[in-house]
Amino acid sequence: MNPVVSLDVAKGESQVQAFLDKKKPYQGSFKVTHTIEGLETLFQFLRELENKTGIKPPIVLESTGHYHTPVVQYFEERGYLLIVVNPLISYRAKSSSLRKVKTDIIDARHLCELYYKEDLEPYKKRGIQLLNLRNLSRQHENITGIYVQTKLQFQAVLDQVFPEYRGVFGDLYSVVSLLTLLEFPTSEDILAVGEETVANRINELCPSRSKKWANTQAEKLTAASARNPFQRTLYQSHILSLEMYIKMLIEYQKHLSKFEDEINALAKEIEEYKIIQSIPGIGEKIAATIISEIGEIDRFNHPKKLVAFAGIDPSIFESGKFKAQ
C-alpha cells in the first residue's frame, strides 16, 4: 500500500481526503478546524490509517499564504512527511479534467491523485532566522506603502492650509519640520507669536542644530507666512486633519526605523548579505529582501530554477517559422 492524506486548506479549516493507494479512497471526505481539537481529530485519523496500512502516510496540501502554517507546524512536530504543493501545479492538474467542477471535496481528491501522478518534493523547513527576516521585510514594505499614502493625504491638506510651508525646511518630513508644523499649523499662528518665539521653539525641538540655524529657519518661516495665500483658515476640519496626519507620519517613521534596525541586525548574521550588496544598485534593504524571499539557496540545484522561482524566466512561443521569447 501507498497511503496519502490530502488537505484542501482554507481559512481556519481544511477538507480531508485519504487514499490507501492509487484510485483507492479511504472512507469519506470530512472537514477539520485549525484548532487543537480539530488537529487532534485529524491526528487520530492519521494514526488509524497508519495502523491499517502499516505505513505513516504523507500529508499533501497546497501553499495558501499563511492559512496552512498551523497545520504544517502541528504535524511537523509529530514527525509527518509534509508535501506543500505550489498552487500552479495543482491548478494545472485540475485543468486536465474535462469536467469543470470545483468543490472542497473534489479539490482534496485531486491533491491525492496528484501525489500518485507527480514526483512531488517534500516540504523543506526554512530557518527561523530567514522566516523572521522575510516577515520583517514584508511588514516593512506594507507599512512603507501606508506611509506613502499618508504623505499624499497630508500634502493635499497642507496645500489648503499652508502651501508656502514647503521649502522652509530641507526635508518637509523631518521630525523637526513636522513638530514645528504641529505647533504652528497656520501662517496666522506664526505671525501672532513672532519670529523670536518661533526660533526659540525650533531650537528646543532640534537641540543638535545651532541657534543660528534655528533663527534662519524662523526667518524663512515668517517670510513664508507673509506670502501664504491663506492668511485665515476657514475650515477647522483642515487643522484637525493636518494634526492627525502629522502624528501618523511621526509614528510611521518610528515603526519603519524599528523595522530597519531589526532587519539590518538579522541580515548581518547571514553570509550572503554582503555578497549581494556587491551587485551595483543593491543596498541593504533590497539585499535583505532578496535573501529572505529566496530562503535557503541550496533548494535550487541549478541557476535556471532560481530564475523561474523569481518569475523572470522568459516564456517561449513558437509556431511554424515564428519564434519569440
| Residue 178, all three cell numbers | 513636522
pLDDT computed for residue 101 by the predictor: 60
Give 188's contacts (C-beta < 8 A, 6+ positions apart).
Answer: 225, 231, 232, 233
Contact (Cβ atoms closer than 8 angstroms) between residue 177 and residue 171: yes
Region at 27 (left for phi over 0; alpha for psi -120 to 50; beta for the rest): left
More confident residue, 316 or 110: 110
pLDDT computed for residue 258 by the predictor: 95
pLDDT computed for residue 100 by the predictor: 62
Residue identified by cell 519569440 is: 324
Question: What band does 128 get if pLDDT is binned at 50, 70 and 90?
Answer: confident
pLDDT computed for residue 110 by the predictor: 85
pLDDT computed for residue 157 by the predictor: 95
Helix (H, G, I), strand (E, B) or coil at 120: coil
User: Looking at residues 207-228, what average pLDDT do you find?
Assistant: 93
pLDDT at 91 over 70: no
pLDDT at 318 over 60: yes
pLDDT computed for residue 324 by the predictor: 66
pLDDT computed for residue 231 by the predictor: 82
pLDDT computed for residue 307 by the predictor: 80
pTM of the model: 0.72
Residue 272: phi, psi to the nearest 5?
Answer: -70, -15
pLDDT computed for residue 171 by the predictor: 93
Lowest average pLDDT, out of 32-41, 94-103, 215-224, 298-307, goes to 94-103
| Residue 205, all three cell numbers | 525641538
- List, for residues 163-177, the tens digit of each pLDDT value: 999 989 999 999 999
- Tell me the domains of the chain and their CATH numbers: 4-117 (3.30.420.40)
Of the candidates 62, 72, 81, 79, the one whose C-alpha atom is nearest the C-alpha of residue 34 is 72
User: Looking at residues 123-149, what average pLDDT do you find?
Assistant: 86
Give 96's contacts (C-beta < 8 A, 6+ positions apart).
Answer: none
3-state secondary structure 229-266: CCCCCCCHHHHHHHHHHHHHHHHHHHHHHHHHHHHHHH
Question: What band does 120 get if pLDDT is binned at 50, 70 and 90?
Answer: confident
pLDDT computed for residue 222 by the predictor: 94
